[in-house]
A and B are shown apart, each in its own frame.
Chain A
């Protein structure tokens, strides 16, 4: 059935249009009053509640006096007439640019090697990239603190043994250190976009270049890569945006390194006395930069590169790299080591160690850290349950909402459906920590008084991940031919019956993929949670942050391992039912 549906898609799209036109003409006046209008109102109300209202509240409160609510510019003065705050802003930009460049350096060669060459071990490398993708940056940060602490890190100890020096060479507590830590978790964005663009490039242009005498390297640099330049830029921009919005990794590394970034500075505004208004004012550059960059990325990616021109029609052959394929493999393995193999090894060692500094030996092996967390810590059990419960509820809710909206938008059941679509993807441009401030300002105090409840966390998470849910849902809905539902309706069935009996079964698989795509980031989300959790609604990410104050890396690593383990199981299920690359393909 699905196969036939796709075959007929073109015709269906046309008939769909004409039906929509006809029905609008015939029932136009009635429609204004019929349930679809109520449906639209309901959906818009939900979206305003989730997206528009917290954002508006953020904007408004940045101009308000804390006590009186009168208009003022004082918040902006407090936020920007301070050298330390401005330095934090500069640091965020430095971090963003550094991460974008590093992510490019890491991601582009691997994408090229996998898509266009005969490099060996492609399957393994892809798996590692997926691993990097599901690793929360704050766990990578903890891994790298264990690896590159200036005196105690494993890499430095190794260096000291090999070189006989008394000081290490790597210092994770520095801007370059932070850039590395964030890059190793965000290069998958560059990889994915570049890789999928390269998959569309046919070999003909490369052949032409080689006929004209260009070598393989020259061909790659002068012909292939320029073809996918827009995709690469798109990936770099996403890495940039991800990194300037991060809170966990900068908090873990920036503080001992003695610098702030925007997110950690925002956190400071929440110290006593809580200055939400100043925080709102200080969040504005993050919001504006994100909107601008997102717009830039859209317009760059909008051109689809030059690759789309050639399409999939051409012949694609893998380039024979000869000895160079080992060079490419070495690069890929280096990146995989930096991003997954090394940090995960030391993280696991610490999780099962009595004292991580005592190294890899059997007498240092213990389950005590897990026992402590699961049976002695009064909060951990509840926290672990909360984490996956909230992530699960978030995923169901976000998908139900976005699916309903994608359906009415695609089938044009209501007027002004593009407003709905816009609101669904708008949270793309709101960094998590900024969203949390908006939610705090809008829904923490009465009348809703949601502060400290699981509800406010789930609502914030739904908003944060609505764009992912919506893009997935919209793509699935587009792939379903309306003819089949129409058949149900012609035979007398209602729309709900059509949705339940026809649409739902067809969408099952792709919705499972979308569910996982929302679940995984929701389970690890820190920045949107940090200002909203209460003692009964704590989640793993926040607990990790609290525990990290004492630097108790063994327990931290154990908690991180639990988080990763559940994530891996969920990802593996997705892997089974949906296919290996489902996350990488669809998340960006």
Chain B
């Protein structure tokens, strides 16, 4: 499905694949020594951030457990700075940002949405603070230079495939590609997230609309899927036995749940696994600008990638190997629309979704 990749993105991906492969061989730097290794730039930021004493991070990049672990690690690395970790879906986070903008009372310092359109919009309206983190040059090539002007940076990446509850259906019988979801035999057994909430699901909807047209979703709606909000909710529905097939399953939350002993299997569709590159940026007028900068550095640090990998997410840094036995972007056939297609497409598909699915 390289047809939906723009030339530049395809190049980036190729480069990224190489980098990811390189990453496999690298060993992990022990993080206990890193405090001593604080660069002067980092030290300055830390000193300034300590005076602000806290910062607020709105994140849709992961589930709550991973987000809290990231926040705690930061607090451990930089004592004296409290992180308010507010984990919601991308659109809910952005709803709060919009409310804050409208009220003229910016509460959030660092915004980590999964809908790239948010950054395109915020940058256009001059609402993001430009900042070039030192660590921005140290991440995998695939993540570098996402915004050439330096207003936002990829700080997390993930994959969307499908998943099934293996106590109810054998992996071999489960749909192998996206179009398998519209087979009538899955009637009332599919769980989906909602593009009006989840940025992952929004990007997925844009991608599949591009592949198969909106008719795909009209047929999917006839199969009576259970529509939740977050993409992580589909895993809950599989675990409880409420649904058999997750039509939208995030690789990380599914694998993490699988490793806990739940009867799940991840499906990487033959027509492509949707690759999400999720950025973060600092809001203009943020109350804790130094803390926000330090946090941006942190999100692209080895320490953060450690946490990401512990929770089965993609690593940002070549120094950190991906978790063993888990497929990551280099092992599958990734598909991804262009930034422009996503930022234009998500508001459209939310509307279409509401008309087709009723909510």
Contact = CB atoms under 8 A, between A and B. Distances in A.
B230 interface: yes
A531 B99 contact: yes
Contacts of A450: 105
Sorting the interface of chain B by its residue count into under 10, 10 to 19, 20 to 34 or 35 or more gives 35 or more
Q: Which of A84, A260, A534, A552 has the most CB of B within 10 A?
A: A534
A550 B100 CA distance: 24
A407 B70 CA distance: 54
A555 B63 CA distance: 13
B100 A451 contact: yes
Sorting the interface of chain A by its residue count into under 10, 10 to 19, 20 to 34 or 35 or more gives 35 or more
B103 interface: yes
B229 A552 contact: no
Nearest to A449: B105
B218 interface: no
Given A152-B242, A356-B240, A549-B197, A255 B64 contact: no
A273 B98 contact: yes
B4 interface: no
Give chain B's interface secondary structure class.
Answer: mixed
Interface stretch (A119-127, A374-382, A396-404): A374-382
A452 B105 CA distance: 8
Given A270-B99, A272-B94, A256 B240 contact: no
Interface string A244-280: 0000000000111011100000001011111010000
Interface stretch (A182-190, A194-202, A439-447, A470-478): A439-447
B236 interface: yes
Given A272-B91, A355-B262, A255 B68 contact: no
B78 interface: no
B186 interface: no
Contacts of B293: none
B311 interface: no
Contact of B229 (A255, A272, A440): A255
Contacts of A551: 228, 230, 232-233, 236-237
Contacts of B83: 378
Interface in B229-276: 229-230, 232-233, 236-237, 239-243, 262
B102 interface: yes
A270 B241 CA distance: 33
A546 B92 contact: yes
Nearest to B58: A535
Contacts of A555: 64
Contacts of B148: none
Contacts of B68: 376-378
A454 interface: no
Given A152-B240, A255-B227, A546 B87 contact: yes
B3 interface: no
A46 interface: no
B105 A272 contact: no
B156 interface: no
A276 B64 CA distance: 29
Interface string A346-364: 0000000001110000000
Nearest to B115: A272
A378 B233 contact: no
Nearest to B236: A551
B23 interface: no
Contacts of B94: 271-272
A550 B63 contact: yes
Contacts of A377: 64, 68
A553 interface: yes
B30 interface: no
Contacts of A276: 102
A268 B196 CA distance: 9
Nearest to A151: B242
Interface in A218-258: 254-256, 258
B359 interface: yes
Interface string A51-95: 000000000000000000000000000000000100000000000
A378 B92 contact: no
Interface string A123-152: 000000000000000000000000001111
Nearest to A445: B103
B84 A274 contact: no
A258 B358 contact: yes
Contacts of A444: 99, 102-103, 105
B27 to A, nearest CB: 28
A535 B239 CA distance: 31
B137 to A, nearest CB: 29
Given A256-B227, A378-B85, A150 B242 contact: yes
B93 to A, nearest CB: 10
Contact of A271 (B91, B104, B188, B227): B91
B226 interface: yes
Given A272-B94, A449-B104, A549 B229 contact: yes
B262 A271 contact: no
A272 B242 contact: no
Contact of A254 (B84, B230, B359): B359
Contacts of B100: 451-452, 534
A173 to B, nearest CB: 7
A547 interface: yes
A345 interface: no
A536 interface: yes
A174 to B, nearest CB: 12
Nearest to B94: A272
A260 B359 contact: yes
A538 to B, nearest CB: 8
B89 to A, nearest CB: 5
A255 B359 contact: yes
Contacts of B232: 549-552
A372 to B, nearest CB: 8
Contacts of B355: 84
Interface in B176-208: 188, 194, 196-197
A446 B100 CA distance: 11
B301 interface: no
Contacts of B243: 151
Q: Which 4 A-B pairs have the closest CB atoms?
A: A551-B236, A444-B103, A451-B103, A551-B233
29 contacts: A150-B188, A254-B359, A256-B226, A270-B95, A270-B99, A272-B91, A273-B98, A274-B99, A372-B65, A377-B64, A378-B68, A379-B86, A445-B102, A451-B103, A451-B107, A452-B100, A536-B84, A546-B86, A546-B88, A549-B197, A549-B228, A549-B229, A549-B230, A549-B233, A550-B236, A551-B233, A551-B236, A551-B237, A552-B236
Interface of B: 56, 58, 63-65, 68-69, 71-72, 75, 82-89, 91-92, 94-95, 97-100, 102-105, 107-108, 188, 194, 196-197, 226-230, 232-233, 236-237, 239-243, 262, 354-355, 357-359
Given A452-B100, A535-B58, A549-B232, 13 more contacts: A150-B242, A255-B227, A256-B228, A258-B227, A258-B357, A272-B94, A274-B99, A378-B72, A444-B105, A446-B104, A535-B56, A535-B86, A546-B92
